[in-house]
Structures are given as C-alpha cells and as structure tokens.
C-alpha cells in the first residue's frame, strides 16, 4: 500500500505539474482582448513595456506555484495516515498524558509541524519570487517571524477547536457536527471582534493616520455613509511590500478603517478617497456580515458532509489506517483531507459571490466620489505596483480571484453610467 501510494502520487503529481506548466506557459494567451485595446483597461496605456513583461512573468510563475501547491496538503494528509504517522502521533500523546485534553493538542501540534515543514519549500519559493520581482521588501528574518507568529496563532486556535470537536465526537456520536456548528457561530463573531485589536497588531505596527486633513476627509465619507468610526489607522507595510491596500474590518467598538502606508505614499489624495469609499461600500452594504453569514452556512454544510464522509471512510479504510472510531484523534488527517477537498470544490461559488460583492463596492465608490479619473488611476497604480495580471487565465480567475480582474474593474469604471462627474 505504501509503495503504491508513493508511486502513484509521484506519477500523478509529475503529470499534473507538466499540465500546469503547459497551461500557464504555452496554452494561455497573455494578450489583451480586442474590445479592450486602447482603453484605460489596456495595460499598454499605463504600463511600460518592461513593467508589462515583468507583470506577465511574475503572474505566470506565481500562478504555477500556487496551483502546484494545491494538492500537496491533500497528499500530506494521506501520507500521514498511510505511513502510520497518525498512529505514532496519537501514541506519543498517550505517553505524555492520559488526559485527552493534553493528547489532542499534542497531536495537532505534531501534525501542523509536519505539514508546515513539508510545505515550507513551496512557501519559500513564492516568497523568493516576490522578492526577486520587487513586490516584497521584507527581510528573511522578518518573514520568518511572521510565519512563526502565524504558526502559533494557528496552533492555539486549531488546538482549541479540535479538542472541543473530538470531545463532541466521543460524547455525541451522531450529532457532533450539528453541536459543533452551533458552537462555531459565537466563536466566529468573537474572532471577528478580536482580529483588529489583538491579532493584526502582532504582525504590524498600527498608528493613527498622520495626515489629519486626509483623515478628516475619510471620516467625512464615513459619516455620510453612517460608518461609526472616529479615527483612521495607518499601518507600516512599506518595510514588507510595495503592494498597496486598505480595508475596513472588525465589528462593534473594534471597527477599524485601515490604510497601508504604501497606499498613502503612492496614490494621490483623490485616489486614496476612492479606495476608502470602496471599503466603506463593503460596510454600508453589510458585506462583512454577509461574508460571516456565508461562512456560517458553509460551515454547516461542510460539517454535515464531513460527518457522513468521515463515517464512511472510517468504516471502509479506518482499520488499515489505524483508527476504527471517528472520535479517535488518529482520524484527524482524514477529517482535514475531507474538509479541504470540500472547501476546494465549493471555492468557485464562494469566489463568484465575492467578485460580485467587489463589483458592488466599486460601483458604490464611484457613485460616492463621482471621480472616474481618480478611480481608474488608483486601479492602474495598484496594477503597476503589484505587477498584477489584468487579464489572468480563466482557471486562475475562477479558482483564485475573489475580485474581478483589473481589466474588468477598470473597464467598468470607464464605462459606468448614471453619475455626474464631480467638478473640481
């Protein structure tokens, strides 16, 4: 079984990699559709020939690496079970303690550590590529610090969730998935409340926006939209990246309007205001809460299908893989495998919903600011600084993009009807 797994995994992965290479480097057209040529959405009108070449190269390599890494996590979970590592992890936990509240976090830590180590080369390759093309400005030590912070935050959250989950599996054999889902709802709200003030500051330094005139204009926009904010935050991202971003996140008293300093440094004031109007649009149209509702619904179906598939997998292959009960912590790799596969299968639907929400936010922002030139200019500058591919291959768009393509966004802004252009 082990030999077959290694042989077939290598053969299929090599074939998959070759097909990906052909798709990204031979079969996809990097040109601009005729309908967009010469418009503001045509990168030739706002990017130099060198920038355009680098953008196409960088996007191809990043997309190739991203898709190459997609099945690796699945292969790791399968390998952990087939080679008996899950049984070793479980037995090691039992040697440390006879209490499941200790055994389960130990198992989670061992599995997460192994997965992180095996995926590290690909993560580093993506980071190296970003540095090589001038997107990332982050030192290796700073990058590793962020990786370690992410590792331990992920472990703490996952250890808590999995410990509760496997206690429910043991106590409520047929209803654990439903109880787990009910408990997840307040947890998701709590994490949404906690994220801006506890987790985000672990990675970056947040300060009040230094440009008080700009802050006043942003807060005026927020006030017009009934966004309950009394200050704007600036985050120091220039030491890590040349990309630009802004966002509104959090709920209740922890709601935050945040601008990356790269956005402030590279965009003109009216362009910054358009970007902020876009983020305010998300808040006004309750996209934060709709997104949370979507996660809650997706969690319900994810746990429901995982419950049935995990029971089937345990009956069919569990004994050979080292577990005969779903509540045995050795089944965790199978649980993760099923959940990640389901997530991948349903991701096109999730991304399509996200792209629609982003379009709505773009339209809200252009109606609010009534400044098409600033709107178009901001997206063009975002494209140049991030070496974004304005017209990615279909596979990338539908399996990776939570936003419309830059070509679609700029074209929409250029042709948008129904606004009176703001007079200077």
Interhelix angle 140-171/176-194, rounded to 10 degrees, is 150
Q: What 3-state DSSP class applies to 126?
A: helix
User: Binding site annotation covers 278?
Assistant: yes
Map 393-422 to HEC letters: CHHHHHHHCCCCCHHHHHHHHHHCCCCCCC
The residues with which 118 forms a beta bridge, in sequence order, are: none
List residues with catalytic annotation: 279, 362
Q: Is 10 exposed, middle or buried (0-12, 13-18, 19+ CB in 10 A)?
A: exposed
User: Binding site annotation covers 319?
Assistant: no
Of 149, 272, 279, 266, the closest CA to residue 222 belongs to: 279
313-331 exposure pattern, b = at least 16 Cβ within 10 A, e = fewer: bbeeebeebbbeebbbbbb
What letter would DSSP give residue 268? -
Q: How many CA atoms lie within 13 A of 27 on its CB side?
A: 10
DSSP H/E element including 69 = helix 49-69
User: Binding site annotation covers 403?
Assistant: no
Known binding residues for Zn(2+): 278, 282, 358
Binding residue numbers: 278, 282, 358
């Amino acid at each position: 079984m082990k030999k077959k797994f290694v042989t077939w995994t290598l053969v299929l992965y090599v074939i998959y990699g070759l097909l990906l290479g052909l798709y990204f480097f031979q079969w996809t057209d990097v040109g601009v559709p005729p309908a967009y040529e010469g418009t503001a959405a045509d990168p030739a009108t706002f990017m130099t020939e060198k920038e355009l070449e680098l953008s196409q190269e960088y996007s191809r390599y990043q997309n190739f690496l991203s898709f190459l890494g997609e099945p690796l996590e699945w292969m790791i979970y399968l390998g952990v079970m087939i080679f008996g590592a899950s049984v070793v992890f479980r037995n090691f936990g039992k040697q440390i303690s006879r209490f499941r509240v200790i055994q389960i976090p130990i198992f989670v830590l061992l599995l997460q550590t192994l997965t992180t180590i095996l995926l590290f080369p690909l993560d580093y390759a993506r980071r190296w590529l970003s540095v090589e093309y001038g997107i990332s400005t982050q030192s290796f030590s700073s990058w590793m610090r962020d990786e370690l912070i992410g590792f331990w935050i992920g472990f703490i959250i996952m250890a808590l969730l999995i410990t509760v989950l496997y206690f429910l599996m043991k106590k409520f054999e047929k209803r654990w998935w439903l109880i787990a889902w009910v408990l997840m709802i307040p947890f998701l709200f709590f994490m949404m409340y906690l994220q801006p003030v506890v987790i985000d500051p672990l990675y970056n330094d947040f300060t009040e926006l230094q440009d008080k005139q700009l802050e006043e204009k942003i807060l005026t926009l927020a006030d017009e939209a009934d966004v309950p904010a009394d200050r704007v935050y600036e985050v120091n991202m220039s030491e890590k990246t040349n990309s630009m971003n802004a966002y509104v996140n959090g709920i209740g008293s922890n709601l935050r309007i945040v601008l990356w300093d790269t956005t402030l440094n590279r965009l003109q004031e009216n362009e910054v205001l358009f970007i902020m109007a876009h983020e305010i649009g998300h808040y006004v149209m309750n996209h934060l809460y709709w997104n949370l509702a979507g996660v809650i619904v997706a969690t319900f179906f994810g746990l429901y299908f995982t419950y049935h598939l995990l029971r089937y997998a345990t009956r069919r292959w569990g004994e050979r893989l080292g577990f005969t009960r779903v509540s045995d912590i050795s089944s965790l790799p199978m649980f993760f495998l099923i959940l990640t596969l389901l997530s991948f299968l349903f991701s096109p639907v999730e991304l399509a919903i996200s792209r629609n929400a982003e379009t709505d936010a773009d339209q809200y922002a252009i109606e609010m600011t009534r400044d098409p030139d600033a709107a178009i200019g901001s997206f063009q500058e975002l494209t140049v600084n991030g070496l974004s591919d304005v017209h990615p291959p279909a596979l990338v768009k539908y399996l990776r993009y939570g936003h419309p393509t830059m070509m679609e966004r700029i074209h929409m802004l250029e042709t948008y009807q129904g606004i009176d252009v703001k007079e200077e």
